[in-house]
Structure 1
Amino acid sequence: MNRLLGARARWRWVHQILGGALLMPYFLLMQVVVGVVAGGVNALDSAPLSLLAYALCLPLVAATALFGPVRPMSVAAVRAMCGVPGEALADGPATSWAARGRASAWWTLHLGTGALISGMTLAVPPMAVALIAVPFVGRLRDVRLGYGWFTTDATPYAAPLAGIGLLAGLVLCAAGAGWLLARTAPVLLGPTPADRLAAAEERASDLAVRNRLARELHDAVGHALSAVTLQAAAARRMLERDPEFVREALAAIEDTTRRTVGELDAVLGLLRDGD
């Protein structure tokens, strides 16, 4: 039950509804085109014409997804809502046509599936409530539901079972579609070989910078310790004979130590910022 109605399943359902909302501009545009071609009719009044408009808008969705920041937006949404591990997804925009094609396929799958689940989410609950209420509301027994595909006048007392079945089917469809999208996301939004190569080059560059900072830190600290050792040894030998020299040596040791600690803090700060 948790897989069907748990927090992750609910967030995946919201993710699909967002996909359906993103498909609406394409769908409305194709509805106008289909209505004009069909002789000026309203495609919303015809289920076949609505399905045709839906099918025709998917290639348009795929074409527009080849351009723009589709992959970063999709990756952010999948990470936030679908429960997909972050390391399984690519970072940044697609830089190759292969990556753009995979992002376009994901965008089309997300919006296409989301439109179906969104439509079911809008249509099924009112229909299910009406069916469940049929035995108690006589006027509902003659109502034809869903483009006239369903009537309750023949078996009114079986209508509540049909309503409950519709709600269960909606939950199962949403959970199944969410699972499908979550399993497909790493395949279509995962890093390509070019992405892995770019990430490896970035890590190598970062490692080179760290190695250079470590060498500079080693040289600076080593030089400072050598100077402090020599000054301390000279001060020890001149302790009885020349107190003024000893005071100057101790002052030099203090200055060298303070300067070295400042340099050490600066380099360690750079390394922490890099992390």
Structure 2
Amino acid sequence: MTTIATPPRPAPPAHRPAGGSHTVADSITMLRRNLLHVVRYPGLSIFVIGGPVVFLLLFVFVFGGTLGAGLPGVDPDGGRAAYLAYVMPGILAITIAGTAGGVATTVSMDMTEGITARFRTMAISRSAVLAGHVLGNTVQSIVAVALVFGVGFALGFRPVAGLPEWLAAAGLVALFSVAISWLAVGMGMQAKSVETASNLPLILTGLPFLGSGFVPTDSMPGWMQGFALYQPFTPFIETVRGLLLGTPLGWEPALAVGWSILIAGAGFAWSMVLYERKSVR
């Protein structure tokens, strides 16, 4: 009796075909996963929010009186209040930068524990796997910024912005958060270990100190001023400061948006190249 061999079934595609609707749906699924991860492991989120709050209290109540009195046109008796207004945009920048460590660590954990390898075998858009981390971290950044704002208001921070300025500031915060998140995803994928991934983004939290976040750039040595003026965090800080407090904006919004788009694009390209390279191993 002759048996007819049944042809083997074709292997299912490792990823969905490229398509906007699939990518969006998969990104939302990955976003939900990352938000659940934040809820289940709140310690990292508490650190992300608590660190900037500690910085804010330290600089306002310990250094604020002296540093505020040195600001141009400030009455020495009102130095602390003036410095609170000055330092808030820098604290917001540190808040956004501080979330990078969390997303880099999470990405590295997914890579080293085999979760990303499992995703590669499923019908999931490649970009959505990483976009879920970015969207989740962006949501966390916005929540953290809102909570830090609340602490600032409780300490006496009083912006003079109207609704258009508030909307513009919120949009810039979201855009900058997306940019830092994509860069952090690349760092997490590049890192050889979870410990390295948690340390790499620390350089980002130092940049606001090397810009206009805590002191005017013209008070720095001349050789440092060029870097301080044009590094990515200074245009962001000056734009938020101008929108909320009415200081001159100049070209700072264009530089802030330009830097955000450049960082986001570079972070996305870097992350996707690493993802594709490690997918074929």
TM-score normalized by the length of structure 2: 0.28
TM-score, normalised with respect to structure 1? 0.29
The structure carrying a bigger helix percent of its residues is: 1
More relative contact order, 1 or 2 (CA 8 Å, 6+ apart): 2
Choose 1 or 2 for highest CA Rg: 1
